[in-house]
Amino acid sequence: MSEKRVYTFGNGQAEGRADMRNLLGGKGANLAEMNLIGVPVPPGFTITTDVCNEYFEKGKDDVVALLKVDVEKSIHHIEKLMNSTFGDPENPLLVSVRSGARASMPGMMDTILNLGLNDEVVKGLAKKTGNERFAYDSYRRFVQMYGDVVLGMKPVNKDDIDPFEAIIQKVKSLRGIVLDNEMNVEELKQLVVLFKNAIKEQTGSVFPENPVDQLWGAICAVFDSWMNERAILYRKMEGIPQEWGTAVSVMAMVFGNMGDTSATGVCFSRDAATGENRFNGEYLINAQGEDVVAGIRTPQQITKEGSLRWAKQQGISEEIRAAKFPSMEEAMPELYQQLNALQDKLEKHYHDMQDMEFTVQEGKLWFLQTRNGKRTGTAMVKIAMDLLHEGLIDEKTAIQRCEPNKLDELLHPVFDKEALKEAKVLTRGLPASPGAACGQIVFFADDASKWHEDGHQVVMVRIETSPEDLAGMSAAEGILTARGGMTSHAAVVARGMGKCCVSGAGAINIDYKARTVEIDGTVLHEGDYLSLNGSTGEVYAGQVKTKEAEVSGDFAELMALCDKYTRMVVRTNADTPHDAEVAKRFGAVGIGLCRTEHMFFDKDKIKPMREMILADTKEGRETALAKLLPLQKKDFVGILKCMDGQPVNIRLLDPPLHEFVPHDIKGQKVMAEEMGKSLAEIQQRVAALQEVNPMLGLRGCRLGITYPEITTMQTKAILGAAIELKRQGYHPMPEIMVPLVGTYKELKQQQAVIRAAAKELFAEEGMEVDFKLGTMIEIPRAALTADEIAKYADYFSFGTNDLTQMTFGYSRDDVARFLPTYLDEKVIEVDPFQVLDQTGVGQLVEMGVKKGRSTKPTLKCGICGEHGGEPSSVKFCHRVGLDYVSCSPFRVPIARLAAAQAAVEK
Ligand code: ADP
Ligand code: MG
Ligand code: MG
């Protein structure tokens, strides 16, 4: 904790600097820095973020006492530079009191302008400036802001308009005027009185006339705004810790509302939406800061080019544009030149796109804020690459400038921004898989496929999805489920397919029988249109227009840069040649997890699969497996061919068998007929497969050990496919992975089965292929005994979905029941199925790698859980020495960027 609580700036000097943003907040640090580099900024001082924490610990009175001397001294500092005195009616100094956290939180906290005015001072200000209208306009704004921010004036009812706005409207309507700047002095004076009365009436507080009281009230209110609802929510969304606190900057006012040679505006050194190197922004003549953003008057464009563009969009003729809406470039050409030169200077100084606020007071330009501008994913990539080409940043910096998760926006279809503004939000679920989807509602997978074949776009709405819905999911534009979290089946599969999915939308009530879904009172039927925003979790009524996302050349260039610096490579989780193809396009260099079970849900494979499961004897099973073998082999040929020359890690059968058998009477009847058995027999067998806790039951390698013939069949299918391809001149690189191993003996036993099957096959074929044999580390015991297990494995793949499930003891499929509460109550900070729990589960990964390599130094290690595409988890994987991460195709670029960032960090 720093002893110094207050840092001054002004007149080209400052006690702070840009790199002190943790202490001074972004705004305070940059105000100091702008002083140091010769950008005109009104003088002022910043109270540190540490004081904010003190404020919440010790309370208001103590902190005011602690600050008193420093603040008084700093006010004198401003007075000297501004040649005026705080509270002096003859020659008053007015200040603004502004919030500013370490990370920018635009508009989330409070700011007060024109502080220092009262009934006496306002007269002095009018006299000094010779501008009575300006003086009273400033005064009424101040009373309004102070009433709102410090004294807590609020609309009485939730849907009332702001009480001050209501008064303004009343006053304006008496004379039939529309705009605020049409009010005359008398009306402005009247507003001040009416505002003060309204404050007294509603809050019981009297507006403080003493400027010193005003100042302390405002400083404390800005600290308090750190804890307002908006700010808390925004921090939660952006992952900003509460301990960071806000700084408070107090600075001399400059006035954009002193007449037609005054103005205020906001500008960007580049286009925040597209990234184009195009200075742009908006301004208003004779207005004060907030007016531009608050939308009270329509702001005008700063550049002429922007103004022409704007007029075209609005359908405004050039004649009218030039006369009524001239750009600043046209209306104030000299000031525009100064502004343009300074924005360029700031961008070059910060080496990044700047978002700036400025005010012109009677022909003199002042800067009031600069920060690195927020931007879209597309703009992020373009700006990083452009700055690199312009020589403003180096390659490593370009890599670090890009936020991995934001690449997502570049990969999925998106809603048209304009269309979204009109869209009606029905409800919200979890943003399980990003993108935009729009289609007609269907409730069943087979309907989804049918409707799709008939040329409809459909959205599949389910209570939850199971592997059987896969075909329907792939035919649908998007998936909406009532249950399930971010790693629910629907979510994982949808992300794998790059398909939009909103899961766990608890407010939807599905009636499968009636084929309706009720959302908050609205009943929708099969065939009605619905739109899903997989990036926000929002569900809209009707059709919202979408457009294909564009992948620009800059994006490819960024990826190439990543490859240059990364140590870990990125593979993909893919079960089909199509997914593998997509992932390859995004730069995957192998398959890190190919799940075989999805293959069995194909129409022609589910039958022999069920036959195998329902057979009571080994012979019965082998007959069925013999039918499956050529079908599986064909699948493996497809995927190994697609990934020719790159490793393909294939996992042996993993899920509990009951997932494959029909649970409805109709399906069971069909089954019985096909197998020549009675319905009762089938039902008995299905019942026998039921387990109390299937996730911990007969699955994974336990299947292969109980029924070795399954492992044998799968081994022969995999290696048979590889031999076939090798004969054709390909270079298949199969890896066979044994799932859910908890003791080395399990792996040892399966290894023997696999080797025997391979030997037999190689003899039959008269040809051999190389393959690797590995295991998944997904049971805590496996990580704990990794040194023993490694003796039987060429590689480890950390299955962090199951590992998280088993380490926490949270069922992945039921976690939605309590996770929201856990997150709200801060029992845990983030969903451990999304972000790898480095403290707990991470220890097991780290230990697994270390122990494994202690007995097998050549052991290759990778990760194949959902975490493989989550940036902070990817960086962790780099630090503990993994060789690769594997993730859904649509997260491959994100993982590549995160891996490169991990490699260039420090
Ligand atoms: P936010 O963080 O919400 O943008 P700010 O503290 O930046 O809030 O203030 C809001 C507006 O008030 C800005 O547009 C800024 O231009 C204006 N403003 C702040 N301080 C001053 C000042 N000293 N003189 C003139 N305008 C100011
Ligand atoms: Mg601002
Ligand atoms: Mg698993």
Q: Pick the catalytic residue: 438, 501, 562, 864? A: 864
Q: With respect to residue 430, please indicate whether it lies within any of the assigned structural domains.
A: yes
Q: For residue range 718-760, what is the model confidence (pLDDT) as tens digits?
A: 999 999 999 999 999 999 999 999 999 999 999 999 999 999 9
**Ligand 1 in reach of 257 Cβ (< 6 A):** no
- Full-model pTM: 0.83
How far is it, in rounded angstroms, from Cα 419 to Cα 434? 18
How far is it, in rounded angstroms, from Cα 497 to Cα 474? 7
How far is it, in rounded angstroms, from Cα 583 to Cα 651? 18
Q: Which ligand is nearest to the CA of 782?
A: 3
Pair 785, 821 in one domain: yes
Spans in the chain with pLDDT lower than 70: 1-2, 106-107, 158-159, 290, 292-298, 313, 467, 485-489, 492, 496-498, 548-552
Q: With respect to residue 663, please indicate whether it lies within any of the assigned structural domains.
A: no
Angle of helix 679-689 relative to helix 665-675, nearest 10 degrees, comes to 120
Cβ–Cβ < 8 Å for 848, 860: no
Pair 223, 363 in one domain: no
What was the pLDDT predicted at 314? Answer: 72
- Name the residue of 105, 222, 359, 371 whose CB sits within 8 Å of the most ligand 1 atoms, as the mutation to test its pocket: 359
Of 220, 167, 170, 223, nearest in space to 196 by CA: 167
How far is it, in rounded angstroms, from Cα 690 to Cα 702? 16
The C-alpha R_g of the chain, in whole angstroms, comes to 33
**Ligand 1 in reach of 98 Cβ (< 6 A):** yes
How far is it, in rounded angstroms, from Cα 440 to Cα 444? 12
Pair 806, 861 in one domain: yes
**Ligand 1 in reach of 777 Cβ (< 6 A):** no
> Quick one: DSSP state of residue 4?
-
Cβ–Cβ < 8 Å for 107, 101: no
- The residue from 547, 576, 591 where one domain ends is 547
φ and ψ at residue 637, rounded to 5 degrees: -60, -45
What was the pLDDT predicted at 526? Answer: 96
Ligand 1, atom 16, lies closest to the CA of: 289
- Counting every residue written for the chain, the total comes to 906
CATH number at residue 347: 3.30.470.20
- The residue from 485, 515, 547 where one domain ends is 547
**Cβ-proximal residues to 745 (8 Å cutoff; 6+ apart), any chain:** none
Q: With respect to residue 877, please indicate whether it lies within any of the assigned structural domains.
A: yes
**Ligand 1 in reach of 842 Cβ (< 6 A):** no
Pair 109, 229 in one domain: yes
CA–centroid distance, residue 849 to ligand 2 (Å): 48
Ligand 1, atom 24, lies closest to the CA of: 253
Pair 300, 246 in one domain: no
Decide if 878 is catalytic: no
- Name the residue of 102, 286, 369 whose CB sits within 8 Å of the most ligand 1 atoms, as the mutation to test its pocket: 369
Pair 587, 638 in one domain: yes
Q: With respect to residue 600, please indicate whether it lies within any of the assigned structural domains.
A: yes
CA–centroid distance, residue 111 to ligand 2 (Å): 9
Q: Which ligand is nearest to the CA of 368?
A: 1
How far is it, in rounded angstroms, from Cα 192 to Cα 114? 14
Q: Pick the catalytic residue: 77, 412, 452, 489? A: 489
What was the pLDDT predicted at 725? Answer: 98
**Ligand 1 in reach of 368 Cβ (< 6 A):** yes
For ligand 1, what atom is nearest to the CA of residue 256?
25
How far is it, in rounded angstroms, from Cα 32 to Cα 370? 11
Q: Which residues have a beta carbon within 5 Å of ligand 3, which is an ion?
A: 778, 799, 802
How far is it, in rounded angstroms, from Cα 128 to Cα 126? 6
- The residue from 218, 252, 286 where one domain ends is 252
> Quick one: DSSP state of residue 374?
P
Pair 638, 571 in one domain: yes
* Residue 35: count of CB within 10 angstroms of its CB: 25
CA–centroid distance, residue 293 to ligand 2 (Å): 10
Q: With respect to residue 673, please indicate whether it lies within any of the assigned structural domains.
A: no
**Residue 538 belongs to what domain range?**
413-547
Cβ–Cβ < 8 Å for 766, 755: no
* Six token digits for residue 34: 């702008």
CA–centroid distance, residue 489 to ligand 3 (Å): 13
Q: With respect to residue 101, please indicate whether it lies within any of the assigned structural domains.
A: yes
What was the pLDDT predicted at 421? Answer: 85
CA–centroid distance, residue 266 to ligand 2 (Å): 9
Q: Which ligand is nearest to the CA of 359?
A: 1
How far is it, in rounded angstroms, from Cα 67 to Cα 47? 9
CATH number at residue 899: 3.20.20.60
- Name the residue of 368, 370, 371, 374 whose CB sits within 8 Å of the most ligand 1 atoms, as the mutation to test its pocket: 368
Of 621, 690, 683, 631, nearest in space to 659 by CA: 690
CA–centroid distance, residue 172 to ligand 2 (Å): 29
**Ligand 1 in reach of 105 Cβ (< 6 A):** no
For ligand 1, what atom is nearest to the CA of residue 109?
3
**Ligand 1 in reach of 239 Cβ (< 6 A):** no
Of 275, 115, 127, nearest in space to 209 by CA: 115
For ligand 1, what atom is nearest to the CA of residue 254?
24
Q: With respect to residue 684, please indicate whether it lies within any of the assigned structural domains.
A: no
For ligand 1, what atom is nearest to the CA of residue 100?
2
Split into its structural domains, the chain has a count of 5
CA–centroid distance, residue 683 to ligand 2 (Å): 68
Cβ–Cβ < 8 Å for 124, 146: no
* Six token digits for residue 280: 């742009």
Q: With respect to residue 131, please indicate whether it lies within any of the assigned structural domains.
A: no
Q: Which ligand is nearest to the CA of 115?
A: 1
Cβ–Cβ < 8 Å for 757, 716: yes
Cβ–Cβ < 8 Å for 266, 292: yes
Pair 355, 230 in one domain: no
Element (H, E) at 436: strand 436-442
**Ligand 1 in reach of 96 Cβ (< 6 A):** yes
**Ligand 1 in reach of 357 Cβ (< 6 A):** yes
Q: How far is CA 726 from CA 589, 722, 732, 735, 736, in A?
A: 20, 6, 7, 15, 17
Partners of 647 in beta bridges: 733
Ligand 1, atom 26, lies closest to the CA of: 289
* Six token digits for residue 370: 């600069």
> Quick one: DSSP state of residue 404?
G
Pair 872, 900 in one domain: yes
Pair 744, 890 in one domain: yes
> For the chain, how far is it from start to end, CA to CA, in angstroms?
25
Cβ–Cβ < 8 Å for 506, 818: no
CATH number at residue 69: 3.30.1490.20
Decide if 864 is catalytic: yes
CA–centroid distance, residue 240 to ligand 1 (Å): 22
Pair 229, 273 in one domain: no
Pair 181, 283 in one domain: no
Q: How far is CA 522 from CA 419, 462, 477, 516, in A?
A: 21, 17, 22, 10
CA–centroid distance, residue 291 to ligand 2 (Å): 12
CATH number at residue 491: 3.50.30.10
